[in-house]
Amino acid sequence: MKHKKAMAEGNGEVPEEPMKIDGSSDVERTEDYHKLIEYGLDEKVAAKLDEIYKTGKLAHADLDERALDALKFLESNLEHVSNKSAYLCGVMKTYRQKSRAGAGGCASSGGAGATPPAAQPAKGPDEEKIKQILDRTGYTLDVTTGQRKYGGPPPGWEGPPPGSGCEVFCGKIPKDMFEDELIPLFEQCGAIWDLRLMMDPMTGTNRGYAFVTFTNRDAAQQAVHKLDNYEIKPGKTLKINISVPNLRLFVGNIPKSKGKEEILEEFGKLTGKKIGVTISFNNHRLFVGYIPKNRDRDDLLEEFSKHAPGLVEVIIYSSPDDKKKNRGFCFLEYECGAATL
């Protein structure tokens, strides 16, 4: 097909001669513009993409068929996006979700004649401040649809990456804030290894939390001491605590003839570290979700023991931003042969 041939040609290294579009003598377009049109993209999208091609931030060879199929619009800053095809596919997926949600809202609120309110694009970070930070630190900023990751390692860093106790969880971040405001704040506590701001692709704003890894534990402790309950905006305070890693990994489909010692030996070879193995025989562990977050282990143990005998343990995990609350789920451990719910 013609568009297949056009894509193949666009992935080559042959220099392109600028071409003028009929009826627009003051605008020059590259050969790739016509390839995009031939592939079926809207003229406005192809023109915008062609402008980005000219900046050198994106090349036609960076886009595969998935991305080209997804590009029916374009309103994304790709400057800090390393995997552009994956990012653009994610943007298009979000666009489709928004479209479906908008259509559903119209049907339920006003019928066929209703028009959904125009979504206002979220205000992004100050790009000039971002550039100054990156120039000053030598770090990079990698943007995906789900997160914005600023990080090093720092120039000249030698040795392993920071270990346990060096990362803090930062919650209750105002949704319209970005790393251009967060980085200078956390730098007051020590050298940053990386900062991961979680993003909501549906709104373009952050999800209200981030993870900040420092180069040492003292800096992380300083962040908790100095920034927990810090008023970052009028009436808006941050919640900071040391991030507790989840060290438990579930592994399924192992041979049923394997014992604990054999599994321990096998996985020990892969990790190179001492590990613990707990085997749940015959599915004696039960997952329970949507539990009240204010219930502790003893409350749950008492409650579930009323409904099924043989309950020996309730495993819960604390919420990262409030240690007094659980995460909304638990695991129930039963004796061998005990009845479950």
Q: Residue 90 has what pLDDT?
A: 63
Is residue 153 reached through a cis peptide bond, with omega within 30 degrees of 0 on the bond before it? yes
Which CATH number, 3.40.50.150, 3.30.70.330, 3.70.10.10, 3.30.56.10, labels domain 127-242? 3.30.70.330
Judge if 127-242 and 260-334 fold alike in CATH terms. yes
Q: Residue 18 has what pLDDT?
A: 46
For the chain, residues with pLDDT lower than 70 are 1-26, 64-122, 245-250, 252, 270-284, 308-309, 335-341
What SS3 class is residue 196?
A: strand
Q: Residue 167 has what pLDDT?
A: 94
Q: Where are the domains positioned within the chain?
A: 2-95, 127-242, 260-334
Q: Residue 122 has what pLDDT?
A: 60
pTM of this prediction exceeds 0.75? no
Sign of CA dihedral 292, 293, 299, 305: positive
Q: Residue 281 has what pLDDT?
A: 52
Q: Could you say which DSSP state residue 31 is in? A: H
- The total of other beta-carbon atoms located within 10 Å of residue 289's CB is 8
Q: Are 330 and 248 in contact (CB under 8 A)?
A: no
Label residue 68 exposed, middle or buried (CB < 10 Å: 0-12, 13-18, 19+).
buried
CATH superfamily of 260-334: RRM (RNA recognition motif) domain (3.30.70.330)
Q: Residue 237 has what pLDDT?
A: 95
Q: Residue 119 has what pLDDT?
A: 47
Give first-to-last CA distance, the chain, whole Å: 58
pLDDT digits (tens, 9 = 90+) for 167-213: 999 999 999 999 999 999 999 999 999 999 998 877 888 989 999 99
